[in-house]
Structure 1
Amino acid sequence: MLHSKSNWKYTALQDTTDQWMDDNMDMSQVVKDLLLQRGITTSDAAAQFLSPDLKMLHSPSGLDSIEIASERVHKAIENGEKVLIFGDYDADGVSSTTVMLKALQELGADCDFYIPNRFTEGYGPNEGAFRQAYEEGYRLIITVDNGIAAVNEANIAKQLGIDLIITDHHEVQETLPDAYAIIHPKCSPNYLFQELAGVGVALKFAENLLGYFPEHLLEFAAIGTIADLVPLISENRILAYYGLNKLTISKNPGIRALKQVCRIEGNVTEEDVGFLIGPRINAVGRLQDADLAVQLLMTEDFEEAKAIAEEINHLNQERQQIVSSIVKEAEKMVDPEAGDGVLIVAKEGWNEGVLGIVASKLVRKYDRPAIVLAIKPEVSEVKGSARSIPAFDLFTNCMKVRELFTHFGGHSQAAGMTFPLENMNLIRTELNQIIKAQLTEDDFKQVIEVSNTIEVSNVNESLVNEINRLAPFGMKNPKPVFQIKHIPSDARQIGSSHNHLKLQFKEENALLEGIGFGMGELFSKLSPHTPVTVVGELGINEWNGNRKAQIVMQDMKVEEWQLFDYRGKKNQDISQLLHDSGKNAVLVNNIIELPEEADQFTYDTDINSLGKRDVLFIYDLPPDLSRLKEIVTAAKPDNIYACYYVEDSLYLKAFPSRQEFKWFYALVLKKKVLDLKTEMSMIMQMKGWDKDRIIFISKVFFELGFVKIDNGVIHVISKPAKKDLQESDVYQERLNKAHIEKVLYYSTYDELKKWFTNQMEYLAEPEEELTYGL
């Protein structure tokens, strides 16, 4: 048995009454089921989803205050006023800044941009920046991807005589800023979609300002929308879909240069943006001013763009090294045994720009929300980022103790914060109490959403291509994860460090390979001929021009008990196996001294002291099969390791026949006295017997009272009691040991597993397998 690392949540229909209402579309049942899970039940709705249309975008006029804001901007352009775009340092903020800057330049505005320094100014508007803008002659500031929490800064702007237009998408807090205008989907009850990214809001504002839909800005909208992990449904899906097409054919020098350093060729996908383009743009603002990223997207000179892109790429490599270093330090601060529901780690000197990434890595490793903070001793403050697990809404729960934070903002799964150093222990205590009141231990595990179960024979390149029509994938439209249950025909570790796992599944004429990156350690936890249940994404593996479908495994489990066969390995060191098996494992043997890793149970130990065990290591053969059955019944193991070695096999030695016993007894009767010290060799030569056989026969006769043995000399007893050979304990013991060897040592793997299974009376009858999802 092997337990999954994550909770598998099987996707259900949005409404149990949903069904496919018509059958006019030529698509597989698998894709129909996936559409049903997304609430799509007709061919018209399916066509609209599979082929998004820009005409389905909502009018920007539905956003509150957008007309007021647009009039103010046009007035500024007419009067030659300077306009400042106040952006943010992440990919959404950079792309939002670019969209607004290009739109204003197209309108002939006297405009520039300002992105605060993450380290000296922090996130969002600040008084110093506003006062500086005023001194430089700005009387109109437009925020993009920030500002909804800038209550104090809006008051400062008003006092200075600056008109502040806020465009944002972050969570709305209790008090709204007193701004000239606020363009925010969640502040607009009549706007039909409230999940736009910051760049989506900026694009809406740009559309309203320009008087037409700016398709040439879609490539930037795709970057911010995908990188900021907003739900890729409705308008976001349309923007991402067309934006990826624009990125593929982009003529923007910065985009072209960035694709070069990312080695992106052909169609640009959401994964290219999420894992290659987005992180590089983010890296700039994580290590320095984010201006360089905006310059990359704004330049018209390809040579300049290449130089900037190379510099950004180096910054990303530096960022990766910094993250790796901080993660190692942070992990040393985490005590997994402490029982904390929320992890909080802090240290002076940590780079604030990468703390969100560090927090994400801690969440993945420890299955706990994590807050990672940089200590600022000069002001006795801490500042950092937090990431959460699906079951815990970080934003809502931190807002319950909002008074403990100096600054706080974010989403359900991510947040940024500043607070006095002295409040750290109190925040830890409060959040631990909150999370423990809400969640069970099982809730802390990461969640994998499983779309459906699929047969190996149904997976092919055609199906994968059809599923990919649901792309771009992201939040609220996740890439489908499928479950496959099958016996692997082959399993192996791959990679230079053997840290990846490759499985092969065969069914009729179908062959499917599964690759599990970072799952190499599970190789030793899979036994032969045992069904394995895996979940993962379907994809295409292309190598040397050959294309074939594969499943990229995310997790796996084995739902039946497993037998691991290590029989016949002399002097093997099983310490690592014991260590990897966890605390609830026991080593069963006849040896008194064992490795420290082992919890010992000998065949003489009271069975009542054993109890339930996850893993049973059998290191020595039992004195009796019934004793081993008692141990298996008491331990109820999920996995059994057969690790015994037979030095001097009895089973392989032919058992003396009755005729051989008769011949030897006749010899003793004839001689009256038989000295084995002098006549052993003669008997061995005459009969072709080994020494062990002669000694064994002698012991049987001695036990039955047929002879006396004194210092190797056998004397006949006259008129012994009549007894059968089988009445001898020595005779029976040898038969028993030979039988034990036959059953437990010389049996095939399948025979041995069947024998153990027959002893497991505690195993319940297998329940009828449930059909999940659809």
Structure 2
Amino acid sequence: MTFSYAPTIAIQQRSCDQVIYDQAISAGLSPLTARLLAQRLEASDLTQAKQPDLHFWIHPQLKHLQHPRELKNIDQAAQLIARAIQSDGLIVLATDYDTDGVTSAWVGYQSLTEYLGVSPDRVACIISERADGYGLTQELCERIVALQHPIDLVISADQGSSDEQQIAYLAERGIAVCVTDHHQIPVAGPPNSAASIVNPQLEGCGYDKQICGCFVLFLVMSQVRQTLIAQGVLPADAPNLRPLLHQVALGTIADSVSLKSPNNRAVVKAGLVQANQFTHPMWQAVQQAHPQKPSQLNAEFIAFQIASRINAASRVNDVQNAFRFVNAQNIAEALDAFAQLDRDNALRQQQQTAMMTEAIAQAQAQLVKAPFCIVIALQGNPGIQGIIAARIGERYGLPCIALTQLNDQEYAGSGRAIVDEVDLISAFNAIAEQHPHLFNSKGGHKAAVGCQIPVAELALFKQEINQQIAKQLDHRRPKLTLWSDGELHPQQLDLATLNEIDALEPYGRDWPSPRFDGHFDLIAWRCVGKESQHLSLKLAHSHDKIAVNAIFFNPAEDLIEQFVALNETEQAKVHCLYQLQRNEFMGRSQLQLRIDYLRLI
């Protein structure tokens, strides 16, 4: 008999801040909207805000953005870039390989060439290669040094704060580096060899620390524009950089920064308006070529359907395909690039499926021993291991570290905490104190980490990470908590309720898309999908029998087996966690429930 493990799942309702709820009701908002706001905001958010008004979150506007000059060192950086613009050497944009980095490259390139008067032949975009690792790596610096023209300035975006050694290497060769970034500053401090560094994480910086790298660069370039106007280089009515916000929104959504941040909400909302005008070739290509495009692009679609394709380029092929897509000059070029990203994403999915099969087998073998953390060592693409760690962790309700072998000597790893009480970076730091040789490198935060460890130390690593996680959990088996916004009345299961929910867009990290739970009668069900891997359901609310359609994507195999085993004469009931979804077909919209969790009663 095959061993099967299912996590202990607890559906828990989000707490509701009474101060927020009362203020929302007083402002004339509906009880549902008031409840959703009170489950995402606390009274302290209002007291800390510069404009303590709920509409600051409900209707975010660009006029409410913090001023760029609240970013520490931004004037110094703007002066530095302005001087380079007025010189005649190369300006190099050195960015990360993920969506935040790719959009940073585009925002930097467009700012310089379309708004700040720099000839395109004076701007070089060098995007990191995933295989070389994160940051201003030695390989990236050598590519910069190898450029044939004199370099006035290197502008990093979405990286650079931890790269003193490489920045010093460039400085020794007469190449100045202006760092723009949003990642944590290392314990040793910011890179002293940088000509300037702009990062909201800098000590003494009062700017929102939740913004992404692309947003930081956008603010810096906006300040460069102001500097050039003040110097008389640009006219006072020079166009501002707002038309670039659709890419800043893409980078913000893709990097999973907080969408509770009023700054991020304003930028994403404005950027989504631009994207939905479909004037840029890349969005026109999405409109024409994506088979599942909704009538209105939203943050969820962009995160899972666009950013995933852009990230696939660096995972399995060439990140330049992604830049070619966002930088397309016409619809034909954009469609060609999008088709390549589709192929890259399909290959990523194939590799992910193969790695996932092996990961499940390894996880099941470990679960017999009731670990507190799953550690799997795979052959495959290191660019996919983070996805594997998340999928395995979610499947079994446990922290997971997924490792892939880089060479005979070293594993690269990605970890996901999954369990709220687990702090992975603290666990890594505790291990490193006891075993300094165990990590060749490590980094990350509470919920997600990355590392490189010697192949020979795999057994010790498994032992130590399990001990640390067990200690954090007080040796109690963790529960996988699924958060609910409560129940909906049967009369609320309609498109009007969904429209009310949509009004609180954008949703994402720290501002989660509403999920509700409830008990339903099971009226009918069938398996759908190419491999019959999904469940299509017809449910009736237990209180007044109002029927509604539902879809459950990729449920566990044992749940499908439970459905198959149902007695046809028996009236089954289900308890499920769901989101309201608009099912669009042939120009008509119909409500359906998208099931995230279901239990037969």
Is residue 143–residue 167 contact of structure 1 (8 Å, CA) maintained in 2?
yes
Partner of 1:301: 330
Partner of 2:458: 424
Partner of 1:723: none
Partner of 1:659: none
Alpha-carbon displacement from aligned partner over 1:18-63 (angstroms, at most 9, x marks no partner)? 5413656554211111122233789983333222111011111111
Matched, 1:338 2:369: yes
Matched, 1:327 2:356: yes
- Corresponding pairs, count: 552
Whole-Å Cα distance in 2 between the matches of residues 116 and 554 of structure 1? Answer: 36
Matched, 1:395 2:425: yes
Aligned partner of 1:514 among 550, 567, 591: 550
Is residue 139–residue 161 contact of structure 1 (8 Å, CA) maintained in 2?
no
Aligned partner of 2:135 among 112, 115, 124: 124
Is residue 502–residue 514 contact of structure 1 (8 Å, CA) maintained in 2?
yes
Whole-Å Cα distance in 1 between the matches of residues 154 and 205 of structure 2? Answer: 26
Partner of 2:399: 369
Matched, 1:78 2:86: yes
Partner of 2:578: 536
Is residue 141–residue 162 contact of structure 1 (8 Å, CA) maintained in 2?
yes
Is residue 493–residue 523 contact of structure 1 (8 Å, CA) maintained in 2?
no
Whole-Å Cα distance in 2 between the matches of residues 489 and 376 of structure 1? Answer: 49
Ranges in structure 2 where 5+ consecutive residues have no aligned partner: 1-5, 227-238
Please state how far the C-alpha of 1:442 moved relative to its aligned partner.
Answer: 6.8
Partner of 1:150: 163
Is residue 262–residue 277 contact of structure 1 (8 Å, CA) maintained in 2?
no
Pick closer, same or farther for the CA change 1:156–1:419 going to 2, 3 Å.
Answer: farther
Aligned partner of 1:551 among 565, 574, 593: 593
Is residue 284–residue 315 contact of structure 1 (8 Å, CA) maintained in 2?
yes
Partner of 2:65: 57
Please state how far the C-alpha of 1:265 moved relative to its aligned partner.
Answer: 5.3
Alpha-carbon displacement from aligned partner over 1:504-528 (angstroms, at most 9, x marks no partner)? 2144474333333334524257784
Partner of 1:523: 563
| Counterpart residue identity of residue 547, structure 2 | L
Partner of 1:504: 539
Partner of 2:16: 13
Secondary structure of the residue that 1:356 maps to in structure 2?
helix
Is residue 491–residue 523 contact of structure 1 (8 Å, CA) maintained in 2?
no
Alpha-carbon displacement from aligned partner over 1:526-578 (angstroms, at most 9, x marks no partner)? 784565432211223344555443332222346xxx6xxxxxxxxxxxxxxxx
Is residue 70–residue 209 contact of structure 1 (8 Å, CA) maintained in 2?
yes
Secondary structure of the residue that 2:426 maps to in structure 1?
helix
| Counterpart residue identity of residue 581, structure 2 | G
Pick closer, same or farther for the CA change 1:367–1:296 going to 2, 3 Å.
Answer: same
Matched, 1:195 2:210: yes
Aligned partner of 1:470 among 497, 504, 529: 504
Give the CA RMSD over aligned residues. Answer: 2.7
Is residue 154–residue 176 contact of structure 2 (8 Å, CA) maintained in 1?
yes
Whole-Å Cα distance in 1 between the matches of residues 283 and 551 of structure 2? Answer: 32
Is residue 483–residue 536 contact of structure 1 (8 Å, CA) maintained in 2?
yes
Whole-Å Cα distance in 2 between the matches of residues 353 and 513 of structure 1? Answer: 37
Please state how far the C-alpha of 1:91 moved relative to its aligned partner.
Answer: 1.0
| Counterpart residue identity of residue 523, structure 2 | D
Partner of 2:272: 244
Partner of 1:762: none
Secondary structure of the residue that 2:53 maps to in structure 1?
helix
Matches within 5 A, 1:558-707: none
Matched, 1:292 2:321: yes
Pick closer, same or farther for the CA change 1:274–1:47 going to 2, 3 Å.
Answer: same
Pick closer, same or farther for the CA change 1:62–1:223 going to 2, 3 Å.
Answer: same
**Percent identical:** 25
Deviates more, 1:437-446 or 1:316-325: 437-446
Partner of 1:231: 258
Whole-Å Cα distance in 1 between the matches of residues 428 and 318 of structure 2? Answer: 29
Whole-Å Cα distance in 2 between the matches of residues 202 and 65 of structure 1? Answer: 13
Larger RCO (CA within 8 A; separation ≥ 6): 2
Please state how far the C-alpha of 1:324 moved relative to its aligned partner.
Answer: 0.9
Please state how far the C-alpha of 1:168 moved relative to its aligned partner.
Answer: 1.6
Please state how far the C-alpha of 1:316 moved relative to its aligned partner.
Answer: 1.1
Whole-Å Cα distance in 2 between the matches of residues 243 and 546 of structure 1? Answer: 27
Pick closer, same or farther for the CA change 1:397–1:206 going to 2, 3 Å.
Answer: farther
Pick closer, same or farther for the CA change 1:227–1:446 going to 2, 3 Å.
Answer: farther
Pick closer, same or farther for the CA change 1:154–1:7 going to 2, 3 Å.
Answer: farther
Is residue 63–residue 188 contact of structure 1 (8 Å, CA) maintained in 2?
no
Is residue 536–residue 553 contact of structure 1 (8 Å, CA) maintained in 2?
yes
Matched, 1:172 2:185: yes
Matched, 1:140 2:153: yes
Whole-Å Cα distance in 2 between the matches of residues 196 and 160 of structure 1? Answer: 32
| Counterpart residue identity of residue 321, structure 1 | Q
Q: TM-score under structure 2 normalisation?
A: 0.85
Pick closer, same or farther for the CA change 1:511–1:417 going to 2, 3 Å.
Answer: same
Secondary structure of the residue that 1:232 maps to in structure 2?
coil
Secondary structure of the residue that 2:22 maps to in structure 1?
coil
Whole-Å Cα distance in 2 between the matches of residues 28 and 132 of structure 1? Answer: 57
| Counterpart residue identity of residue 538, structure 1 | L
Please state how far the C-alpha of 1:498 moved relative to its aligned partner.
Answer: 6.7
Whole-Å Cα distance in 2 between the matches of residues 412 and 83 of structure 1? Answer: 36
Please state how far the C-alpha of 1:434 moved relative to its aligned partner.
Answer: 0.8
Ranges in structure 1 where 5+ consecutive residues have no aligned partner: 563-774
Secondary structure of the residue that 1:21 maps to in structure 2?
helix
| Counterpart residue identity of residue 245, structure 2 | L
Whole-Å Cα distance in 2 between the matches of residues 49 and 18 of structure 1? Answer: 12
Please state how far the C-alpha of 1:74 moved relative to its aligned partner.
Answer: 0.8
Whole-Å Cα distance in 2 between the matches of residues 427 and 368 of structure 1? Answer: 17
| Counterpart residue identity of residue 273, structure 2 | N
Whole-Å Cα distance in 2 between the matches of residues 277 and 541 of structure 1? Answer: 20
Whole-Å Cα distance in 2 between the matches of residues 556 and 39 of structure 1? Answer: 28
Matched, 1:382 2:411: yes
Matches within 5 A, 1:344-359: 344-348=375-379, 350-359=380-389
Aligned partner of 1:35 among 30, 37, 46: 37
Is residue 87–residue 114 contact of structure 1 (8 Å, CA) maintained in 2?
yes
Whole-Å Cα distance in 1 between the matches of residues 475 and 513 of structure 2? Answer: 27
Is residue 74–residue 220 contact of structure 2 (8 Å, CA) maintained in 1?
yes
Partner of 2:229: none
Whole-Å Cα distance in 2 between the matches of residues 23 and 339 of structure 1? Answer: 48
Please state how far the C-alpha of 1:325 moved relative to its aligned partner.
Answer: 1.2
| Counterpart residue identity of residue 296, structure 2 | N
Matched, 1:492 2:525: yes
Is residue 5–residue 555 contact of structure 1 (8 Å, CA) maintained in 2?
no
Alpha-carbon displacement from aligned partner over 1:209-230 (angstroms, at most 9, x marks no partner)? 2237521111111111111111
| Counterpart residue identity of residue 445, structure 2 | H
Pick closer, same or farther for the CA change 1:298–1:518 going to 2, 3 Å.
Answer: closer
Pick closer, same or farther for the CA change 1:167–1:468 going to 2, 3 Å.
Answer: same
Whole-Å Cα distance in 1 between the matches of residues 241 and 579 of structure 2? Answer: 35
| Counterpart residue identity of residue 563, structure 2 | F
Please state how far the C-alpha of 1:260 moved relative to its aligned partner.
Answer: 3.0
Q: TM-score under structure 1 normalisation?
A: 0.67
Matched, 1:90 2:98: yes
Whole-Å Cα distance in 1 between the matches of residues 304 and 10 of structure 2? Answer: 25
Is residue 522–residue 537 contact of structure 2 (8 Å, CA) maintained in 1?
no
Is residue 146–residue 167 contact of structure 1 (8 Å, CA) maintained in 2?
yes
Is residue 98–residue 297 contact of structure 1 (8 Å, CA) maintained in 2?
yes
Secondary structure of the residue that 1:230 maps to in structure 2?
coil
Pick closer, same or farther for the CA change 1:544–1:132 going to 2, 3 Å.
Answer: closer
